[in-house]
Copies of this chain bind each other. A is one copy, B any other.
Amino acid sequence: MSVEATAPGKVILFGEHSVVYKGPAIVLAIDKRAKVNVNRRQDKRIYFDSLDLGFAGFFEDENYIPVKGETWRGRRLEALRVSAFKTMEQLDVESGLDLIIRSEIPIAAGLGSSAAICVAIVAAVGELFDGGLSKREICDLAYEGEKVVHGTPSGVDNNISTFGGILRYERGAEMERFELEGSLPFVIGNSKRKRSTRRLVGRVRALREREPDLVDEVIDSMAEVSRKGLEALVKRDLPRLGDLMNINHGLLSSLGVSIAKLDLMVHASRGAGAYGAKLTGAGGGGCMIALSERSKMGAIQKAIQRCRGDPHVIDVSYEGVKTRRLE
């Protein structure tokens, strides 16, 4: 028997960077998913095979032996091992595993691909051993994997991949999950420039040390944008959401986290009729997100392509992690 699990990626609509200091982040699960297939092995090896991620190899204890692709994929690969290992540890089983990973979520683009993969691994391995894990448990185990990549991540990514929907996250407050009626499509544009969240969070922190008053004012404004953005989202006030996205993009730029290619795609999307557009995630690369009427999405995608970006139409997804047994 094998088990398949899938989990959604995410996109940050409001609150990237400011959430580190103040106010909420508004995060949407998206209809791009990571898929994990798992089978038991007779030996103790944990095999990973991912064509999308460009590697195949196995762990023998904690040593990674490559079969295809690069010899060592660093923390990201280690996160996968930890997710599988911690799940078996929790269920008090020891086994070798064959894990096949496929993902529709662009990698290292701020779309939560690593969390989605960790969540899907935990869910798949849990189901394989009849663990009866609750979503909460899946989420927490995936967090162990995420910690390997991100140190002490906010926990947003594993939560959104596990539960789907719309999440309001604020430090020191309970996460709140929302659902809205109907679809809520966006166009995202991938700059195809990899970026490091850690480095960009550090850059904002350094600027804040140099200009504390101003940066705190900007962060206050961003927190306000997030709060108003959630209101506008709940009311489906798309023109207002667009204004708020545009304002947010400028505020993020003022903290030094945008790059020319993101700005270009943002302007191109607005020029093609978007209500608004902004970078999403840590910046320094990764993606931008544009909100528009459906009728303009074709033009926006073309505009993003003309900037040499990679456009995708995405929609919010209320479907969190899912598993199914295959014979």
Contact = CB atoms under 8 A, between A and B. Distances in A.
B240 A214 contact: no
Interface string A202-228: 000001001101110110110011001
Given A247-B255, A250-B255, A264-B264, 7 more contacts: A250-B250, A250-B251, A250-B252, A253-B254, A254-B254, A259-B267, A260-B267
A260 B268 contact: yes
A246 interface: yes
Contacts of A249: 253-254
9 contacts: A211-B244, A214-B247, A246-B254, A247-B254, A247-B255, A250-B251, A250-B254, A250-B258, A260-B267
Contacts of A251: 218, 250-251, 254
A235 to B, nearest CB: 14
Interface string A47-67: 000000000000000000000
A102 B246 CA distance: 41
A183 to B, nearest CB: 25
Interface residues of A, number: 34
Interface of A: 207, 210-211, 213-215, 217-218, 220-221, 224-225, 228, 240, 243-244, 246-256, 258-260, 263-264, 267-268
Classify the interface of chain A: helix, strand, loop or mixed: helix
A243 B248 CA distance: 19
Contacts of A244: 211, 214
A184 to B, nearest CB: 21
A180 B303 CA distance: 46
A246 B259 CA distance: 12
Contacts of A252: 250
A28 B224 CA distance: 34
Contacts of A240: 210-211
Contacts of A215: 247
B214 A221 contact: yes
Contact of A214 (B224, B253, B256, B263): B224
A311 to B, nearest CB: 17
Contact of A211 (B210, B211, B247, B254): B247
A207 B276 CA distance: 13
Nearest to A240: B210
A81 to B, nearest CB: 38
